[in-house]
């Protein structure tokens, strides 16, 4: 149960479990890394000596990896993971989670949008018996209107369609207990929507309300393209409703087709020249677009099924550096 299916867990047989792990994926984060390390370490030091901070370099093109190594020279609590290329946030996170050994694990972004200083409060909630403490955003500073609006709409649509309730306005900022994490890591899904998967596993999950800060420096590493892909992964992984859409659209198209047909016959009887041809064109355009759309929906599921069936590892770790 404790091992991810597709790749060995380098920490599987380790006995010296730290009390706490922090896992932060980093993609081109040279501008924030030192400050993140400083603030995160300060918080951890006040809590326990038994901790590790796992930094995952997700194929950065800038000085992120070099900076990580410089930090690790002076900090034995750092564990560095370098992926072979950019795998994307969700898989970088999965790689970090497979390497961390802590009894409790904090998932946090490196850009300081989720304050490390919230950790003590989250630990308190876990002390009261929660297995997962998920950060829920009350307010988000420094985000564009477009992002706020699309994020809000996305969570509402997803929750309508998903069979698993996924709390609105959450990111991946959360504290997870080891038993819950082991279950999560045993799920071999390629297209991961981790916040949804964590909801799916159950156990006792409690929210932690917080105000999300603006990025400390640099710009978002989630351009619209990546956001859209994540949203599609979420939808396809957590709902089969789009597949059922084919039925509904088909039915609607039949109705519209029938109406057009009736209209064409009536118009034909009243001898409006050309009305029949127009109706045929209309019906053809309608039906073929519905068919293409439904094919696209099928493709979204089929493509993911195909990728999953190849059984490739979720990520490739090039190097792990421990103190």
Alpha carbon 169 to chain centroid, angstroms: 13
Query: Residue 138: what are its φ and ψ, rounded to 5°?
Result: -85, -40
Q: Are 48 and 77 in contact (CB under 8 A)?
A: no
Name the minimum Å distance from CB 212 to Mg ion: 9
Distances (CA, A) of 158 to 193, 235, 236: 12, 6, 10
29 contact, one of ligand UDP, Mg ion, none, CB 5-8 Å limit per kind: ligand UDP
Q: Please, which residue, 113 or 170, has the CB nearer to Mg ion?
A: 113
Q: Please, which residue, 17 or 229, has the CB nearer to ligand UDP?
A: 229
CA-nearest of 113, 108, 80, 103 to 93 is 108
The residues that touch ligand UDP, with contacts defined as CB under 6 A, are 25-27, 29, 58, 86, 88-89, 92, 109-111, 113, 220-222
CA distance 13 to 153: 43
Q: Please, which residue, 111 or 172, has the CB nearer to Mg ion?
A: 111
198 contact, one of Mg ion, ligand UDP, none, CB 5-8 Å limit per kind: none
The residues that touch Mg ion, with contacts defined as CB under 5 A, are 109, 111, 113
For the chain, the straight-line distance linking the first and the last C-alpha, in angstroms and rounded, comes to 28
Name the minimum Å distance from CB 221 to ligand UDP: 3
| DSSP three-state, residue 318 | strand
Q: Please, which residue, 74 or 145, has the CB nearer to Mg ion?
A: 145
Name the minimum Å distance from CB 192 to ligand UDP: 12
Name the minimum Å distance from CB 67 to ligand UDP: 13
Name the minimum Å distance from CB 79 to ligand UDP: 16
Q: Please, which residue, 112 or 181, has the CB nearer to ligand UDP?
A: 112
Name the minimum Å distance from CB 140 to Mg ion: 10
Q: Please, which residue, 57 or 109, has the CB nearer to Mg ion?
A: 109
Distances (CA, A) of 133 to 10, 103, 147, 238, 300: 26, 14, 24, 21, 32
Q: How many residues would you count in the chain?
A: 323
25 contact, one of Mg ion, ligand UDP, none, CB 5-8 Å limit per kind: ligand UDP
Q: Beta 51-57 vs 132-140: how paired, if at all?
A: unpaired
């Amino acid at each position: 149960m404790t091992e991810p299916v597709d790749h060995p867990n380098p920490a599987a047989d380790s006995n010296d479990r730290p009390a706490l792990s922090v896992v932060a994926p980093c993609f081109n984060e040279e501008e924030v890394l030192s400050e993140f390390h400083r603030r995160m370490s300060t918080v951890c030091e006040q809590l326990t000596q038994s901790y590790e901070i796992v930094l995952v370099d997700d194929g950065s093109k800038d000085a992120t990896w070099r900076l990580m190594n410089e930090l690790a020279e002076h900090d034995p609590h750092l564990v560095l993971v370098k992926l072979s290329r950019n795998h994307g946030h969700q898989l970088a996170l999965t790689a970090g989670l497979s390497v961390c050994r802590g009894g409790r694990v904090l998932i946090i972004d490196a850009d300081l949008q989720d304050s490390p200083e919230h950790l003590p409060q989250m630990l308190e909630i876990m002390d009261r018996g929660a297995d997962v403490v998920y950060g829920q955003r009350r307010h988000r500073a420094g985000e564009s209107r477009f992002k706020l609006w699309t994020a809000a709409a996305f969570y509402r649509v997803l929750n309508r369609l998903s069979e698993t309730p996924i709390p609105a306005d959450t990111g991946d900022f959360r504290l997870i207990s080891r038993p819950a994490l082991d279950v999560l890591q045993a799920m071999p899904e390629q297209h991961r929507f981790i916040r949804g998967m964590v909801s799916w596993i159950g156990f006792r999950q409690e929210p932690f309300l917080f105000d999300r800060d603006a990025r400390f420096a640099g710009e978002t590493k989630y351009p619209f393209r990546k956001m859209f892909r994540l949203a599609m992964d979420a939808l396809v992984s957590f709902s089969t409703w789009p597949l059922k859409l084919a039925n509904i659209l088909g039915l609607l198209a039949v109705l519209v087709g029938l109406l057009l047909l009736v209209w064409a016959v009536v118009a034909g009887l009243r001898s409006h020249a050309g009305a029949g041809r127009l109706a045929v064109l209309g019906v053809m355009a309608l039906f073929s677009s519905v068919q293409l759309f439904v094919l696209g929906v099928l493709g979204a599921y089929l493509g993911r099924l195909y990728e999953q069936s190849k059984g490739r590892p979720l990520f490739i770790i090039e190097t792990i550096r421990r103190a």
